[in-house]
Amino acid sequence: MKKGLLRLRRHRKPYRDRTWLRLFNFLAKKIAADNYLDAIKDYFKFQYDKNPFLDMKEDHYVFGPLKILLNELRGRHVTPLGRSAITRAFNESIYMRIRLKRYLRSHPEVLNTEIKKPIFVMGLPRSGTTYLQNIIIQFFNRRGLRFWELIEPVPYSKFPTLDKNTRILKAFIIFLLYKISTPKLQLLHPLKLYSFEECWYLFRPTFSVYNYIFQFGVEDYGKFLLSHCMDKAYEDYREFLQILSCHKGNPDLVLKCPEHMLFMESITRTFPDACLIWIHRDPFKSIPSYSSMIYEAQRFYFGYAEKRDVGKFVTDEYYKMTEKARDFWRNNPTMNLLNVTMSELRDNPGNIVKKIADRFGIKPLTEPATPRGTNIIKNLRRLKSRKKYKPEDFGLYRGDIHSIFRGYMNEFKLAAGS
């Protein structure tokens, strides 16, 4: 396989089974030039030269990941539709950084907002992080971040109702485009305007987004992030959380993102009283599911992708993630971390609630054994993927996966199929 993610065959017709996407791709040719990466770089330089809220020396940690990301994307055959989406996303990230700096300069008191004992839910993608986060939100009255808040975290107006409606409207446009462009992703992970989502969106203004590795298949970028100190990125992330929490009655947050497992050191330095929950699942249950998602994302950006290449890439990245996280966990045995398994969460969620309460000293407002608690669990069990996929289509077989992840599965006592 060529260096990078997937073999992208130019002779294949992009979006061959999606007539309307081919139409959008044709229209995008008019606005998405081949030199789109140079246009992004020029826009970035233009903003730093003219905008008083941006400082190159202060934001030095943004340039490294952005440079590597742009250079690696330069070697990809991206469709006009993909180029248009990447340009919009990256330019919006720069604009979000300007808004963050401008808002904090006008409202410095926001930085006094305390983020008390935030709970970080982490684990490999498709391992049960969404279910676990929703359990914590419901039973401990913790606040999760909704999709519209993550897309538009910085206020526009001093009038609360107008501001909220403006941000929701802008997020709705993004949501609509996502839903139209990648309908099969909606079956794998139903996204809603008000659903609680992964907080990697808040890392976009730093361009330190581990999720991009999977979306774009950028291995060098991934290596950079894994070897790079993420403290500055998490400090910016904390500022977004302070903005989102300063006017809320419930500032106690539960934050979900698989890649938090890679940066536990930065989390504990940025949030000294953070509560970490690492959820584990049989990799053969999560890798095929996530491969199906990445396949759809790659098809959107590149027009075509090889399923077996996707499966291999996701397997390799999962292995890197587990090895790095296990290494840090073993070397820091006293850290405030709770390990749970998806099988126990599925079979006995009440026991998981008790473990969280005992480990972190927080009392649940609703007991799982009560009628209300039983009803909450019943409703949350509906959070399931509705898309069917075959692991063998992605070159994934149970014996091979279990052999690769034997050490991880033994360490956390994961049974096959759990």
Q: What is the pLDDT of residues 211-230, one digit of tens each?
A: 999 999 999 999 999 999 99
Q: The whole model's pTM is what?
A: 0.92
Q: Reply yes or no on whether the pLDDT at 121 is more than 90.
A: yes
Helix runs in 231-348, H state only? 231-245, 264-270, 283-302, 307-331, 342-347
Give pLDDT, residue 33.
77
Share of the chain above pLDDT 70, in %: 92
Q: Residue 398 corresponds to which amino acid?
A: R
pLDDT band per the 50, 70, 90 thresholds, residue 381: confident
pLDDT band per the 50, 70, 90 thresholds, residue 248: confident
- Identify the weakest region by mean pLDDT among 91-100, 245-254, 394-403: 245-254
Q: HSE of 326 in the Cβ direction (CA atoms, 13 Å)?
A: 15
When comparing pLDDT for 380 and 393, which is higher?
393
Nearest partner of 217 among 278, 277, 301, judged by Cα: 301
Q: HSE of 234 in the Cβ direction (CA atoms, 13 Å)?
A: 23
Give pLDDT, residue 129.
95
pLDDT band per the 50, 70, 90 thresholds, residue 6: very low
Stretch 7-35: mean pLDDT, rounded?
65
Tokens representing 322 are: 């587990």
Give pLDDT, residue 8.
45
Long-range Cβ contacts of 305-310 (<8 Å, 24+ apart): 305/6, 305/8, 306/6, 306/7, 306/9, 307/393, 307/394, 307/395, 308/393, 308/394, 308/395, 309/1, 309/5, 309/6, 309/7, 310/5, 310/6, 310/394
When comparing pLDDT for 68 and 179, which is higher?
68
- Identify the weakest region by mean pLDDT among 186-190, 221-225, 231-235: 186-190
pLDDT band per the 50, 70, 90 thresholds, residue 9: very low
Averaged confidence pLDDT in the chain? 90
3-state secondary structure of 117: coil
When comparing pLDDT for 312 and 25, which is higher?
312
Share of the chain above pLDDT 90, in %: 76
DSSP 8-state code for residue 196: B
Nearest partner of 168 among 189, 145, 147, judged by Cα: 147
CATH no. for 19-411: 3.40.50.300
When comparing pLDDT for 114 and 28, which is higher?
114
Give pLDDT, residue 240.
97
Rounded to a whole number, what is the largest CA-CA distance in the chain? 60
Nearest partner of 280 among 117, 132, 120, judged by Cα: 132
Q: Reply yes or no on whether the pLDDT at 17 is more than 70.
A: no
- C-alpha dihedral over 93, 94, 100, 106, to 10 degrees? -150
Q: Reply yes or no on whether the pLDDT at 4 is more than 50.
A: no
Stretch 174-195: mean pLDDT, rounded?
85
Pairing label, strands 119-122, 254-256: parallel
